[in-house]
Amino acid sequence: MSSSTKSSKGEPKLPEEDVPDSAVRRRMLKSFGWFAVASVVPIGIYNWIKRSPKAMGTLKPLRDILNTNEAIARTYFSNTHLVRTYPVEEAAPKARTNGYDGLKSPVPEDWKLTIETPDKQPLQLTIDDIKALPKQEIVYEFKCIEGWSQIQHWGGVRLSDFMAHHKLGTHSGNAPNPEATHDLFKYIGLETPDKGYYVGIDMESALHPQTLLAYELNGQPITAPHGAPLRLIIPVKYGVKNLKRIGRLFFADERPRDFWAERGYDYYVGL
């Protein structure tokens, strides 16, 4: 009954058959019945998501999938995937600032970077201690979670060099070895001196060769709105993780709290 002879162009004819009127009617009723039942499913899924409890500022099913996305992203994250860099002339002469959380008071006169490792004495460093290490510069496209981006020119010390020099980020107290993952703490937490802004960063991203503790913008010491005297520049993350005016840096195996993740954003925000 059904014919599927091919037309000259190679497109098959549609199969046809003769059926009683009652069979046609039955088919219509059945199909539209299923259609009606099936269209309840997306409404049900939507309602289920909407009625779920919140988990860190967003609905639990959404949070679970954002965390799953993180797990997937971390499988293909690689320190050899470098952020694209540009010639220094392309950098914006006036880098954009966005957000003043954690910067609402003046820069503390006695600013020091406090570094805490579990079961160890905290380390306190001045900006000169940090500038004593080899300087690294990067011109790359800074990306804000809002969607804008801008080519910016930053200078500072590689976070991985800094950690190697001060033997930080490991349980053993040795310099971090990216191969020996079991020895590394899983996260780095960062906070402004007033604790008004805080982020948590996975260790792989922190050890990325383009991640800097930055103290220069366009060759000049960074200004207060850009996070003087020391900020994080982590090109493999959106701007929200690039903490300005770092006061405290600590290591942990549990995710440190994170300002924007608590407000419903993805914790990882990896690029």
Partner 1 sequence: MKRIVHKHPLAIRWFHWINFPILFVMIWSGLLIYWAYHPYKIEVGDYTLLTFFPNGFFKFLNIPRRLAEGMAWHFVFMWIFLINGLLYVGYTFISGEWRHLVPDRNSFREAIQVTLYDLGFRKTQPPFIKYNGAQKIAYFSIMLMGIGSVLTGYAIYKPTQFSWLTRLLGGYKAARLEHFALTIGYVLFFFVHVGQVIRAGWHNFQSMVTGVEVVKANEPGQPEVTEPDDDQPVGPFEPTLSPIDSPTRPALS
Q: Which of 145, 175, 224, 252 binds partner 1 (CB under 8 A)?
A: 145
169 vs 187: CA distance, rounded Å = 9
Which tokens is 75 given? 């499988």
Helix (H) or strand (E) holding 190: strand 187-191
For residue 252, the minimal CB distance to partner 1 (Å) is 24
For residue 147, the minimal CB distance to partner 1 (Å) is 4
Which residues are bridge partners to 191 per DSSP? Answer: 198, 248
> Considering only residues 28-87, where is the footprint of partner 1 by CB under 8 A?
28, 31-32, 35, 38-39, 42, 57-59, 61-63, 65-66, 69, 73, 76-78, 81-84
- Site membership for partner 1, residue 92 (CB under 8 A): no
Selection from 226, 71, 77, 52 nearest residue 150 by Cα: 226
Measured from the Cβ of residue 248, the count of other Cβ atoms closer than 10 Å reads 17
- Site membership for partner 1, residue 100 (CB under 8 A): no
Which residues are bridge partners to 58 per DSSP? Answer: 55
Q: Which stretch binds partner 1 (CB under 8 A): 19-27, 163-171, 178-186, 190-198?
A: 19-27
Nearer to partner 1, 115 or 240 (CB): 240
- Site membership for partner 1, residue 258 (CB under 8 A): no
Phi, psi of 214 (to 5 degrees): -95, 140
Nearer to partner 1, 144 or 175 (CB): 144
- Site membership for partner 1, residue 202 (CB under 8 A): no
Nearer to partner 1, 250 or 268 (CB): 268
Query: What is each CA distance from 188 to 54, 63, 211, in whole angstroms?
Result: 25, 21, 13
Q: How many residues are listed for the chain in this entry?
A: 271
Whose structure tokens read 């220069």? 216
Residues that bind partner 1 (CB under 8 A): 2, 7-21, 24, 27-28, 31-32, 35, 38-39, 42, 57-59, 61-63, 65-66, 69, 73, 76-78, 81-84, 141, 143-149, 235-236, 260, 263-266, 270-271
